[in-house]
Amino acid sequence: MLLRLVELTKSLGTQHVLDGVSLEVPPKARLCVVGRSGAGKSVLLRLILGLIKPDSGEIWYGETNLVPLGERELAPLRREMGMVFQNGALFDFMNVEDNVAFVLRERRRPESEIRQAVSRILERLFLQGHEKKMPAELSGGMRKRVALARAIISRPKLILYDEPTAGLDPIGSTEITDLIRCLNEEFGATTIVVTHDMRSVEQIAQQVAFLHAGRIYKVCSPEEFLSSEEPVVKAFVHGLVEEPALGTC
Amino acid sequence: MGVVEAAGAICFLFADVVYSIFRYRFRWELFLEQIVRIGMRSQGIVLITGAFTGAVFAAQTQFRFGKLGLSSATGPVVSIAMLRELGPVLCALMISGRVGSAMAAELSTMRVTEQIDALRALAVYPTQYLIVPRFLGMLVSMPFLVALTSGTGILLGYVVSVLLLGVDPAFYWDNTIKFTGARDIWMGEIKALFFAVIIVLISCHRGLRCQLSAEGVGIAATEAMVFSAITVLISNFFFSFLMNLILSS
């Protein structure tokens, strides 16, 4: 297994967000983690990346438990990971080119190699001609693609996506999901996508993990997930409301 | 956050900055950028501050001392006051307003938009990338800015006393040089370094600990300025007392 989560718990304030999450992700897999807003999906990604620490449990990346590691020890492992944040989290003081080149410059690659790699990846993500633009000048979809370019330029083994299609129109959303699938096939990187967009699940996932009530409720194929008759899963997939909805007259 | 807790966090930040200076590679580009932002772009504001403080202080001193027949004392009083107290303190107050609040706003915006998390995700230590260049930039810039404030204050004090109020220029310079020693200059410069550390640590601390909202950014910027200014004023009293004891013994 490339990644193994063992009985992870995490509370934020008084709220128990994760309450014993266990999950295994094999190398090169495409896994979608789905669940309602506030279920702890983004928290899970932050835990995997070591941005926050769990209250208890273990996070095994290969043979290494990430939980006891400090920033210094985590750095070499983070170099093998990439993360696409929900709003891109592009550095607003750098243009597109510098944002994408950032990782390679940090690793002190030769400038000629960096320029080549940036140009290649921007072309691959249909961003050529936008190199000198600042993040504030980009549309939501373009920002996501730049964030994607920044995350994959160093060819990480594990890529984490936090709501990659949130806030995008249907066409932009399809473009991003296609890219995620293609990049996984091209680079062979293990892909974990956090989303509550069922279309993305259909287009991306090989496996779906449903996060419910602080635990992984179900892990299955997308077909099985989307056609599940289990009330909790069915309600989530079809947006069925058990109690009177807020908008009901 | 309580005062003790904040003071503790600032001490930890200071230790982290010192550790990062020696542990990680030095980023000349970011350091020089900060020298430009802090040192070069603040020259105008400290020139005006120093010039008009020196001018009004010289005028008020001469109005009173002139009546007592002590016009020859105006020069030394202005120069010692500018070098030891007014120059460092007023410069620090202006810098906390111009630079400290900007630092806090910048860092808090980065925090709110997840750019700091993105840095960590890309295996870059935020203290090394964001705080160390600001810390060193401030440390190098402040002594020059304080010298500029005090120097222009003394110069305009001379202009006002000699050209406007008719004090004998030979007396003025002779007494200024006679009663102003190297230790007056050193005291101001040591204070400059001390205030630089206070301003940069408080401002960065407020920026890194802001609430995750637009309001939080505003509060961080305001608090950075207010807390830095108050700390400068309070610590100046104790620092002056201590320095007088050390330098006079």
Q: How many cross-chain Cβ pairs, A to B, lie less than 8 Å apart?
A: 49
Tens place of pLDDT per residue across chain A (249 aa): 899 999 999 999 888 999 999 999 999 999 999 998 888 999 999 999 999 999 999 999 999 999 999 998 999 999 999 999 998 999 999 999 999 999 999 999 999 999 999 999 999 888 999 999 999 999 888 998 999 999 999 999 999 999 988 888 888 888 889 889 988 888 889 999 999 888 889 989 999 999 999 999 999 999 999 998 888 888 888 887 765 555 555
A249: in domain: no
A85: in domain: no
Domain residues for the domain of A53 are 1-80+157-244
Q: Describe the crossing of helices B3-23 and B182-208 by its angle, rounded to 10 degrees.
A: 100
Does A240 lie in the same domain as A162?
yes
Please report the pLDDT score of residue A219 as a whole number: 93
With an 8 Å Cβ cutoff, is B123 touching chain A? yes
B240: in domain: yes
Does A103 lie in the same domain as A161?
no
CA distance A244 to chain B (A): 32
Tell me if A89 and B118 make a contact (CB, 8 A cut-off): yes
The owner of tokens 């101001």 is B188
How far from A118 is each of A98, A114, B171, CA to CA, in Å?
9, 6, 68
B7: in domain: no
Indicate the pTM of the whole model: 0.89
With an 8 Å Cβ cutoff, is A109 touching chain B? no
A131: in domain: yes
CA distance B114 to chain A (A): 5
Query: What is the chain B residue with the closest CA to A75?
Result: B123
Does A235 lie in the same domain as A221?
yes
B12: in domain: no
**ipTM attached to this prediction:** 0.90
How far, in Å, CA of B16 to CA of B200, rounded?
Answer: 13
The answer to whether B103 and B134 have CB atoms below 8 angstroms apart is yes
Examine the fold and report which residue of A105, A123, A155 is the final residue of a domain before the chain moves on.
Answer: A155
Cα A140 versus chain centre, distance: 16
Tell me if A71 and B125 make a contact (CB, 8 A cut-off): yes
With an 8 Å Cβ cutoff, is B121 touching chain A? yes
Among B26, B107, B122, which would you mutate to test the A interface (most chain A Cβ atoms within 10 Å of its Cβ)?
B122
The amino acid occupying position A174 is T
The number of domains in chain A is 2
Does A165 lie in the same domain as A67?
yes
Among A84, A92, A158, which would you mutate to test the B interface (most chain B Cβ atoms within 10 Å of its Cβ)?
A92
A191: in domain: yes
Does A16 lie in the same domain as A136?
no
Domain residues for the domain of B101 are 28-248
CATH number for the domain harbouring residue A197: 3.40.50.300
How far, in Å, CA of A221 to CA of A224, rounded?
Answer: 5
Q: Which helix (H) or strand (E) holds B70?
A: none
Tell me if A78 and B114 make a contact (CB, 8 A cut-off): no
Does A108 lie in the same domain as A197?
no
The answer to whether B87 and B184 have CB atoms below 8 angstroms apart is no
Q: How many CB atoms lie within 10 A of CB A107?
A: 12
Specify the pairing of strand A190-195 against strand A207-212.
unpaired
The answer to whether B207 and B131 have CB atoms below 8 angstroms apart is no
Does A180 lie in the same domain as A62?
yes
Q: How many CB atoms lie within 10 A of CB A36?
A: 14
Query: What is the chain A residue with the closest CA to B23?
Result: A72
B18: in domain: no
A145: in domain: yes
Does A94 lie in the same domain as A196?
no
How far, in Å, CA of B50 to CA of A53, rounded?
Answer: 49
B48: in domain: yes
Considering CB atoms only, which of B113, B121, B125 is closest to A51? B121
Specify the pairing of strand A190-195 against strand A215-220.
unpaired
Q: Residue A58: beta bridge partners?
A: A6
Tell me if A46 and B122 make a contact (CB, 8 A cut-off): no
Considering CB atoms only, which of B118, B123, B125 is closest to A79? B123
Does A49 lie in the same domain as A7?
yes
Annotate B68-137 with three-state secondary structure. CCCHHHHHHHHHHHHHHHHHHHHHHHHHHHHHHHHHHHHHHHHHHCCHHHHHHHCCCCHHHHHHHHHHHH
Examine the fold and report which residue of A139, A155, A171 is the final residue of a domain before the chain moves on.
Answer: A155
Please report the pLDDT score of residue B124 as a whole number: 94
Tell me if A85 and B117 make a contact (CB, 8 A cut-off): yes
The number of domains in chain B is 1
Please report the pLDDT score of residue A192 as a whole number: 95
Please report the pLDDT score of residue A175 as a whole number: 85
B162: in domain: yes
With an 8 Å Cβ cutoff, is A102 touching chain B? yes
B66: in domain: yes
Tell me if A85 and B125 make a contact (CB, 8 A cut-off): no
With an 8 Å Cβ cutoff, is B64 touching chain A? no
Examine the fold and report which residue of A132, A155, A178 is the final residue of a domain before the chain moves on.
Answer: A155
Instruction: Give the residues of chain B that fall short of pLDDT 70.
Output: 1, 248-249
Show Cβ contacts of residue B163 under 8 Å, excluding neighbours closer than 6 positions. none
Specify the pairing of strand A207-212 against strand A30-34.
parallel
With an 8 Å Cβ cutoff, is A73 touching chain B? no
Does A172 lie in the same domain as A119?
no
B11: in domain: no
Does A161 lie in the same domain as A76?
yes
How far from B154 is each of A57, B14, B92, B93, CA to CA, in Å?
65, 34, 18, 19
How far, in Å, CA of A241 to CA of A248, rounded?
Answer: 11
Does A210 lie in the same domain as A100?
no
Please report the pLDDT score of residue A244 as a whole number: 57
